[in-house]
């Protein structure tokens, strides 16, 4: 299908974008790899698209104060090729090849993936697993929101209608950082039936600060807190059992909730193994 | 909904046209410029038939708006074909029966060319992964993988 009519404006700066977003029904256009598909299918009807692609300074990857900051307009392919991300955000590096297909990753942006907040998407789960934060510019200036508070419901985030996500910030990996990532999709590049992004800290043979974030199992990325505690106690079997309490995936076109629950256990076993391996 | 005047480079030539914001890049190329080598399939980014190059990177023509390309460079299969840069790939597709109806072929060629531009001889798994976003309903893919692999070997041999 073809999109319904809308107006279009190119933002010259973040401030200009915020100003343009003052119009009722305006939406930010970044990589457009989800948004334009929904326009074509007439699932969304914005009055105005505010294109931020030409705003300078939003496509930087920078390391500062123990964090890595990834600008909203960093395209997936740019992140995939970044030595900085491979080194300081290995979980993101592992997740990136699972996102869509090369042509999608050439255009899609990190900020767009986070702001769109598809519950089956990889990067929102990574952001939450890494205890990252989101930098937002809005009418009242800039603010920072923790990942735990950012994802609020199905495609619902802490972003208001006049907000622009400008960067994400992740704690840079250190020698004791352990990460794991796995997903099950029917075909490569499809959204996952179930996926798991995980991070922890190695302390001798034990794990601490375990964060297990499942995606494709609810309306947001979901932390499995009992399973996290079980893994920190070194009890994988208890962790797998705990998923029955922590996850309640609804049936969808991909699989029934019961199948998803089973697959979540399969993924936890795989990812638990990754978490105990020292990085190369 | 006001039309926007855009100026862009298409296959090396400057083009100036008025477009409605809702016009996708692939519809603009086909309907306004008459470049019908880029095909429209699913129109939501899944089939890959509309792939074109935007500033050198292969993108979905159905998930990019023409108005966004103001000031940018677009290259279609017509440009890539006329330049001769993918002649070996086209010949390999023909020899190995890597196309039947040809609907997916222009996009398949551009996507394969992007992989091969990285140099070396990618594994068959890497070729499959790179082409995973381009659907072909005729060939069953094996002949396409064969053709891409064969060209990679010849190119690697020719440069080493």
Across the interface, whether the CB atoms of A3 and B22 are under 8 A apart is answered yes
Across the interface, whether the CB atoms of B59 and A106 are under 8 A apart is answered yes
Mutate one of A79, A100, A101 to test the B interface: name it (highest B CB count within 10 A). Answer: A101
Q: Does A79 touch chain B (CB under 8 A)?
A: no
Query: Which residue in A1, A8, A103 is closest to B4 by CB distance?
Result: A8
Mean pLDDT (whole number) for B65-71 = 98
For tokens 């306004």, name the residue.
Answer: B32
Chain A residue numbers with beta carbons less than 8 Å from the beta carbon of B44 are 37, 40-41
Helix residue spans in chain A (DSSP H): 14-20, 35-40, 76-80, 83-88, 90-95, 102-107, 110-116, 122-129, 147-150, 225-232, 236-246, 257-276
Predicted local confidence at residue A280, as pLDDT: 61
- Domains (range + CATH), chain A: 7-51 (3.30.43.10), 61-168 (3.30.465.10), 179-275 (3.30.390.50)
Across the interface, whether the CB atoms of A29 and B68 are under 8 A apart is answered yes
CA distance B150 to B147: 5
Across the interface, whether the CB atoms of A7 and B2 are under 8 A apart is answered yes
CA distance B89 to B100: 15
Using an 8 Å Cβ cutoff, are B130 and A189 in contact? no
Across the interface, whether the CB atoms of A101 and B48 are under 8 A apart is answered yes
Q: Are strands B73-75 and B4-10 parallel, antiparallel or unpaired?
A: parallel
Q: Does A43 touch chain B (CB under 8 A)?
A: no
Across the interface, whether the CB atoms of B64 and A39 are under 8 A apart is answered no
Q: Is B120 left (phi over 0), alpha (psi -120 to 50) or beta?
A: left
DSSP-based three-state secondary structure for A140: coil
Chain B's closest residue to A188, CA to CA, is B132
Q: Does A29 touch chain B (CB under 8 A)?
A: yes
Predicted local confidence at residue B160, as pLDDT: 54
Indicate if the pLDDT at residue B20 is higher than 90: yes
pLDDT per residue of chain A (280 residues) written in tens, 0 to 9: 899 999 999 999 999 999 999 999 999 999 999 999 999 999 999 999 999 999 999 999 999 989 999 999 999 999 999 999 999 999 999 999 999 999 999 999 999 999 999 999 999 999 999 999 999 999 999 999 999 999 999 999 999 999 999 999 999 999 999 999 999 998 888 889 999 999 999 998 899 999 999 999 999 999 999 999 999 999 999 999 999 999 999 999 989 999 999 999 999 999 999 998 876 6
Q: Is the dihedral of CA A204, A206, A211, A213 positive or negative?
A: positive
Q: Is the dihedral of CA B101, B103, B107, B110 positive or negative?
A: positive
pLDDT digits (tens, 9 = 90+) for B79-94: 999 999 999 999 999 9
Q: Does B125 touch chain A (CB under 8 A)?
A: no
Predicted local confidence at residue B119, as pLDDT: 93
Our CA-based measurement puts residue B7 at a distance from the nearest CA of chain A, in whole angstroms, of: 15
Mean pLDDT (whole number) for B26-51 = 97
Mutate one of A25, A103, A108 to test the B interface: name it (highest B CB count within 10 A). Answer: A103
Q: Does B40 touch chain A (CB under 8 A)?
A: no
For tokens 């929102």, name the residue.
Answer: A124
For tokens 């920190």, name the residue.
Answer: A232
Our CA-based measurement puts residue B128 at a distance from the nearest CA of chain A, in whole angstroms, of: 10
- Domains (range + CATH), chain B: 4-80 (3.10.20.30), 84-159 (1.10.150.120)
What are the CA-CA distances from residue A18 to residues A139, A167, A169, B140 (Å)?
A: 6, 15, 21, 48
Q: Is the dihedral of CA A131, A132, A137, A143 positive or negative?
A: positive
- Lookup: tokens for A148: 């735990």
- Lookup: tokens for A257: 């909730």
Mutate one of A11, A33, A40, A102 to test the B interface: name it (highest B CB count within 10 A). Answer: A102
Using an 8 Å Cβ cutoff, are A191 and A120 in contact? yes
Q: Residue B113's closest CA among B95, B87, B139? A: B87
Predicted local confidence at residue A190, as pLDDT: 84
Q: What is the residue-wise DSSP string for A246-264?
A: H--PPP-SS--HHHHHHHH
Using an 8 Å Cβ cutoff, are B45 and B62 in contact? yes
SS3 letters across chain B: CCCEEEEEEECCEEEEEEECCCCEHHHHHHHHCCCCCCCCCCCCCCCCCCCEEECCEEECCCCCEHHHHCCCEEECHHHHHHCCCCHHHHHHHHHCCCCCCCCCHHHHHHHHHHHHHCCCCCCHHHHHHHCCCCCCCCCCCHHHHHHHHHHHHHHHHHHC
Across the interface, whether the CB atoms of A102 and B43 are under 8 A apart is answered no
């Amino acid at each position: 299908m073809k999109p319904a009519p809308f107006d279009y404006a190119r933002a010259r700066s973040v401030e200009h974008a915020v100003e343009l977003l003052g119009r009722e029904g305006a939406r930010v256009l970044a990589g457009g790899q989800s948004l334009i598909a929904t326009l074509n299918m007439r699932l969304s009807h914005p009055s105005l698209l505010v294109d931020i692609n030409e705003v300078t300074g939003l496509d930087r990857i920078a390391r500062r104060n123990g964090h890595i900051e990834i600008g909203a307009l960093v395209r997936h392919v740019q992140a995939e090729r970044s030595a900085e991300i491979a080194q300081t955000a290995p979980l993101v590096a592992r997740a990136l090849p699972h996102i869509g297909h090369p042509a999608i990753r050439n255009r899609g942006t990190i900020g767009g993936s986070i702001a769109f907040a598809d519950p089956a998407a990889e990067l929102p789960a990574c952001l939450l697993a890494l205890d990252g934060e989101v930098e937002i510019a809005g009418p009242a200036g800039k603010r920072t929101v923790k990942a735990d508070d950012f994802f609020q419901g199905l495609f619902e985030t802490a972003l208001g209608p006049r907000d622009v996500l400008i960067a994400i910030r992740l704690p840079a990996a250190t020698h004791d950082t352990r990460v794991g990532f796995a997903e099950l999709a029917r075909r490569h590049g499809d959204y996952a039936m179930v996926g798991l992004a995980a991070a922890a800290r190695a302390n001798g043979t034990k794990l601490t600060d375990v964060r297990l974030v499942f995606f494709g199992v609810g309306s947001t990325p979901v932390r499995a807190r009992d399973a996290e505690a079980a893994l920190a106690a070194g009890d994988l079997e208890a962790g797998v059992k705990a998923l029955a309490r922590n996850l309640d995936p609804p049936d969808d076109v991909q699989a029934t909730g019961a199948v998803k629950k089973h697959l979540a256990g399969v993924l936890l076993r795989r990812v638990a193994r990754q978490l105990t391996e020292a990085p190369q | 909904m006001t039309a926007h005047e855009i100026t862009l480079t298409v296959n090396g030539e400057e083009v100036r046209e008025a477009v409605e914001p809702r016009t996708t890049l692939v519809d603009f190329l086909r309907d306004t410029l008459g470049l019908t080598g880029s095909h429209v399939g699913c129109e939501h980014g899944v089939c890959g038939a509309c792939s074109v190059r935007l500033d050198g990177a292969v993108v979905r023509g159905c998930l990019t708006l023409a108005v966004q390309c103001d000031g940018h460079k677009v290259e279609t299969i017509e440009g890539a074909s006329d330049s001769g840069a993918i002649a070996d790939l086209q010949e390999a597709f023909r020899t190995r029966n890597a196309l039947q109806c040809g609907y997916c072929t222009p996009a398949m060629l551009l996507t394969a060319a992007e992989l091969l531009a990285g140099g070396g001889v990618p594994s068959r798994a890497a070729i499959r992964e790179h082409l995973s976003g381009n659907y072909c309903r005729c060939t069953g893919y094996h002949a396409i993988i064969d053709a891409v692999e064969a060209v990679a070997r010849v190119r690697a041999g020719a440069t080493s």
